[in-house]
């Protein structure tokens, strides 16, 4: 088994993960490791879970096969379809975190996220000498439009689901050689959000010569999967808007990580996916 011991600021996240196992995981055939035990001692929380390494699972990094990508999309469809427009109230009311993945509900936390990015950027830019003034200025231009458009997108509460929030191939998503369906750890950031965010986030580290063309094919597979699972109020146009919009938050993650390398990669990704276009065009929401 694997033991995760959380203290201090980590206690809140551990309790969010426990909330996932107790209230959310039983609702569908989830890919999380089995929770074997828990001890909440007040000042600390201990979670004991299945050891995926012992079961033959490994993190793929950027070396993800086409079959594994299909298995990943199937897993995300299962999660997002299960909670489509039905994120449990307890999950909405649990203590929210400010991370690179913005919370779509309740809407007032969007401003909290934007403020957190600005505050962290001020500290980051004060110490980094690699990024030039033009590169730094791009963040505020993007962030202001992102905040306004996100408020428009979630105002009616439509087409929102439960997302993992930290779904990546560099340590949270694992595969076994004989199974293309992944196991996924670290559910402490599960939150109401835009479903395509999880897909956009994990594809960031998977290399390709044409990011837009590759991603549109995979996104279409995801959207077709949602439709087959009974999600009928989500247009292809809105799904694509959500995907391109969600990629913008990778820029915010680079700020939280204080990485000039990923800051520049994220700006390039925003250009490759045409994400600036969705900052100027409001989403086509279901009536």
* pLDDT tens for each residue of the chain, 287 residues long: 999 999 998 898 898 899 899 999 999 999 999 999 999 988 899 999 999 999 999 999 889 999 999 999 999 999 999 999 998 866 555 566 677 677 787 788 899 899 999 999 999 999 888 999 999 999 999 999 999 999 999 998 899 999 999 999 999 999 999 999 999 999 998 989 999 999 999 999 999 999 999 999 999 999 999 999 999 999 999 999 999 999 999 999 999 999 999 999 999 999 999 999 999 988 988 76
Sign of CA dihedral 101, 93, 77, 277: negative
Pairing of strands 173-176, 179-184: antiparallel
Give the pLDDT confidence score for residue 96 in this predicted structure. Answer: 63
Quick one: pLDDT at residue 53?
94
**Residue 1 belongs to a domain:** no
The pLDDT of residue 102: 78
The pLDDT of residue 282: 86
Residues 6+ positions from 204 with CB-CB distance below 8 Å = 168, 247, 250, 269
CATH number assigned to the domain comprising residue 98: 3.90.1200.10
In a domain, 151, yes or no: yes
- Would you say residue 270 lies in a domain? yes
93 CB-contact burial (10 Å; exposed 0-12 / middle 13-18 / buried 19+): exposed
Per-residue model confidence (pLDDT) at position 284: 86
Asked if residue 15 is part of any domain, the answer here is no
Q: Is residue 43 part of a domain?
A: no
Asked whether residue 144 is domain-assigned, the answer is yes
Count of structural domains, the chain: 1
Peptide bond into 114 cis (omega under 30): no
Distance CA 108, CA 98 (A): 12
Determine the structural domain holding residue 225 and report its residue range.
56-280
In a domain, 9, yes or no: no
């Amino acid at each position: 088994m694997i033991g995760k011991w959380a203290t201090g600021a980590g206690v809140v996240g551990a309790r969010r993960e426990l909330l996932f196992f107790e209230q959310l995981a039983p609702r569908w055939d989830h890919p999380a490791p089995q929770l074997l035990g828990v001890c909440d001692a007040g000042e600390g929380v201990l979670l004991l879970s299945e050891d995926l390494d012992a079961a033959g699972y490994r993190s793929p990094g950027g070396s993800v096969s086409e079959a594994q990508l299909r298995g990943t999309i199937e897993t995300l469809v299962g999660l997002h379809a299960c909670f489509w427009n039905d994120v449990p109230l307890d999950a909405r009311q649990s203590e929210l975190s400010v991370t690179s993945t913005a919370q779509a509900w309740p809407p007032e936390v969007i401003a909290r996220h934007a403020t957190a990015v600005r505050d962290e950027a001020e500290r980051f830019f004060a110490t980094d000498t690699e990024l030039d003034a033009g590169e730094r200025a791009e963040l505020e231009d993007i962030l202001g439009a992102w905040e306004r458009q996100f408020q428009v997108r979630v105002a009616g509460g439509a087409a929102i689901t439960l997302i993992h929030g930290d779904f990546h191939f560099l340590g949270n998503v694992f595969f076994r050689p004989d199974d293309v369906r992944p196991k996924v750890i670290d559910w402490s950031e599960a939150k109401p959000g835009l479903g395509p965010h999880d897909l956009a986030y994990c594809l960031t580290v998977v290399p390709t010569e044409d990011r837009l063309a590759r991603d549109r094919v995979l996104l279409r597979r995801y959207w077709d999967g949602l439709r087959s699972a009974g999600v009928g109020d989500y247009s292809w146009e809105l799904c694509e808007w959500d995907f391109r919009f969600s990629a913008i938050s990778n820029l915010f993650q680079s700020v939280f990580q204080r990485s000039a390398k990923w800051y520049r990669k994220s700006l390039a990704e925003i250009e490759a996916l045409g994400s600036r276009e969705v900052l100027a065009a409001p989403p086509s929401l279901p009536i």
